[in-house]
Amino acid sequence: MNDLYIDENLIEIDLNLNNKEEIIKKLSNILETAGLVKETYQSAVLKREKEFPTALETESIGFAIPHTDPQYVNKAAVAVARLKNTVNFISMENYEKNIAVKLVFLLAITDPSKQVKVLQKLIKLMQNKEIVNTILRADNQKKLSEILKNNF
Amino acid sequence: MNKKKVLVACGSGIATSTIIMDKLEEGLAERGIEVEFEQCKISEAKNYIEDLSIDIIILNGPVNSEYSIPAFSGVSFLTGIGEEELFDKIVAELE
């Protein structure tokens, strides 16, 4: 998955924010500053998250994968937040249900067929307890980005 | 016998529905069941069901009573939780 840009500068460790909109804004600002997404990306993601929420829960962890359409994206990338405290995101499956989310992967995808592969990898990763634990224990951005690079 | 038609739907009609469809295809093949797949956005599902005479729908999204055919959430195929049970339910509906 060499064409998905993963970088320590796109990672927040123990981000101390308490609602999902702020988290999405924080991460999309990072992508925008890096020139990876267009100005319109942030509002598009926020809108889509409201319409089609993205939280999932595996046996290992609660996580969310906010994303939007390729037209808002310059270069395929993922910004990641490991949250200090879990924050409620709405479940992909049941819009009445909150999931306590610890990891947020904000996806910027340019090609829908690649998006599928990225999602598939990410979901597999989140089902793997060992890898999830290494992500939760990584002490800094660099380590976390290495774990992701090695597994994508 | 005609193959049954399975509609898989998600928000974009592209991403998670493809993952669900891949899993389903593989799992049903293992169980010796052949079906025909259609894929669409959740917002288009009702029209697809009518126009293409779909037999069952698997959604990545809330399953409510607005569908005229058996409907299941496919989220187990994304999380790995309850995957076998979901296959059993879908197979029971297809047989």
What is the full DSSP assignment across chain B?
A: -PPEEEEEEESSSSSHHHHHHHHHHHHHHHTT--EEEEEEEGGGHHHHHHHTT-SEEEESS---TT-SS-EEE-THHHH-TTHHHHHHHHHHHH-
Instruction: List the domain range (segments joined by +) for residue B23.
Output: 4-94
Complex ipTM: 0.75
pLDDT digits (tens, 9 = 90+) for B17-57: 999 999 999 999 999 999 999 999 999 999 999 999 999 99
- CATH number, domain of B60, equals 3.40.50.2300
Using an 8 Å CB-CB cutoff, list chain A residues near B22.
120
Determine whether the interchain pair A123/B78 forms a contact, defined as Cβ–Cβ distance below 8 Å: yes
CATH pick for A8-151 out of 3.40.50.1820, 3.40.47.10, 3.40.930.10, 3.40.640.10: 3.40.930.10
Q: How many domains does chain B have?
A: 1
- State the nearest Cα–Cα gap between B1 and chain A, in angstroms: 33
pLDDT digits (tens, 9 = 90+) for A80-125: 999 999 999 999 988 899 999 999 999 998 887 777 888 888 998 9
pLDDT digits (tens, 9 = 90+) for A48-67: 999 999 999 999 999 999 99
- State the nearest Cα–Cα gap between B16 and chain A, in angstroms: 7
- State the nearest Cα–Cα gap between B32 and chain A, in angstroms: 24
Instruction: Select from B51, B54, B47 the least CA-distant residue to B4.
Output: B54
Question: Looking only at Cα atoms, what is the longest distance across chain A?
Answer: 37
pTM: 0.89
Q: Is B40 a catalytic residue?
A: no
pLDDT digits (tens, 9 = 90+) for B28-39: 999 999 999 999
Question: B6, B7, B8, B10: which one is catalytic?
Answer: B10
Confidence of residue A1 (pLDDT cuts 50, 70, 90): very low
As beta bridge partners, residue B58 has B8, B72
Q: Kindly give, in sequence order, each residue whose CB lies less than 8 Å from that of residue A118, ignoring residues fewer than 6 positions away.
A: A1, A4, A76, A78, A107, A109, A152
| Residue A11, both tokens | 């990672």
Q: Which of B10, B42, B79 sits opposite A57 (nearest CB)?
A: B79
Q: Kindly state whether A70 is in contact with chain B, defined as any CB-CB distance less than 8 angstroms.
A: no
Contact (CB, 8 A) for B70 and B93 = yes
